[in-house]
Structure 1
Amino acid sequence: MTSHAFSEAERAAVYRVIAERRDMRHFLPDPVSEDCLARVLSAAHQAPSVGLMQPWRFIRVTDRAVREGIGGVVEAERQRTAEALGEDGSAFMRLKVEGIQECGELLVVVLPDKREQHVFGRRTMPEMDLASAACAIQNLWLAARAEGLGMGWVSLFEPDALARLLALPAGASPIAVLCLGHVEAFYERPMLEQEGWTRAEALEHFLMGNRWDESKSF
C-alpha cells in the first residue's frame, strides 16, 4: 500500500510548529519582509472553509494614525474588562495583552457583510463562517511561527467601535486584531501560564467516549 504520510522529519516539523506556537505580546520593531508577509497570508488563504465560502478579509494597517486608533479602542476595552473582573481587575491590568504599537505588521480580520448568501453548511450552524475564518487565522499563526515570526491575536475591542474606525460597511464584523512581527524570544509556555493567570489542562480532561461525560465538564 502506498503511504501518503510525509517523512518522519516533515511530520516532526509540523508537530513542532504546533507545539511551539505562542500568543505573543512582545515584539521587536524590525519590519516584516514583503515576501514573508505574502507567504503567511497565502497560508491563511489556503485554510478550509465551509462551502468554500472563504469568509475572511484581511485589512493591513500601515497608517500610524489608524494603528494608534486601534490601540485606543483596545485600551478602552481593557479598562472595561478590568472593571468587569472586579477584584481580579488589578492583576489583569498588570498583564501585557497586546503589542499593537510595537509589532512590525498589524492586520485586522473581518467577516464581510455578504456572507448570508452562503447556505451550504450554515443553514443550521450559521457560526461556521466564524469557524472558517478562525482556521485561516490558525494557518497564518503556524506559518508565522515556522518563519520565525511571532503573532498575537487581540480580541479586546468593542466591535462597533473598531468597525467605525475602519469604515466597515454595514453588517461587516471585525473578529481579530493580529500583531505580527519579529520577537527576541518565544515564550517557553503560554504567557498566561508564565504570569500565573491560568494554566492549560491536559488532553485527557477534554476527551470523552461515545457520549457526554459529566465528570469532565469542568
Structure 2
Amino acid sequence: MNSSSEHGLACVGGIAAYQWIFTGDVKGSATLNQRCSICDRDDLSVMFQVRTAASDAISEICETCLGKGAVALQPGGSILRGHELRHQLGQMCMRVMLRTCKDVLRELLANTNDSKLPEVAVYFDRNAQLSPRHAATLFLILSNAGSNVDARIFQVQLRKTEHQQEFGRLLQPEKLALWPVLSPAIRTRLATLGFAPTPDVVQRSRGINSNSGRHVAVDQRSYDLRM
C-alpha cells in the first residue's frame, strides 16, 4: 500500500471495484498551464496523478474528470465515488492551491521591493483570500514584475456588499487589474452598481486574461479557482 501523508489519503490495489488508484501526487500550478489527459483542458490549476486500475498506466487527471469516476483513496481500502469523492478532491485542491499562492507571495517578497506587498501577504495568510484593494495591489505588482503567474489562482472577495463597495473606490488602473479575471456574473453585478471601469477601459480589457492573453471565466466555487 502506498500512502500520501501530506494529503491524509492512502492508496490501495485492486481492479474491479474502481477505475483509478490515487498515487498520492497532487500538482499545483501558478500559471494554469496543466493539461488533463481525459478532457484535454489545458488551463488547470490542480492535477491528480493516478494509475489506471485495468492497465496500471500513469495519468494526470483534473478534479472534474476524476470526480466522475470511482477511485481508491481512503485509508482502510474504502472506495470513494460521488459526493464523498468530490468533497475529498475539493479539499485537496484547496490545500494545494493555498500552498501555491503562498509560494508565489513568498517569492515576490524575496525578490520585489514594494512596501505594500507585506500587507498583502499578511492579509492572505489570515484570510486565504484577498480583498479587492489587496488583490489590485498584488496583480499590479505581478504585472510590473513581468511574472507569468496567472492572477486567477487568488480568490478575490467580492460577494459581500462591503467588498463590492471597496472595489467601487478603486482607481481605474486598479479596477483594470482586477476586471479581466472576474467572472461574468461578478462583472455584471459590479456594473449594475456603477462600479465597472469606464467604457473605454472595459473595451481595452475585454477578452483579455491577465497573463494568457485570453479570458477564461473564473469558477465561482468556494475557493474560486479553475480545477
TM-score, with length taken from structure 2: 0.24
**More relative contact order in 1 or in 2 (CA 8 Å, sep 6+)?**
1
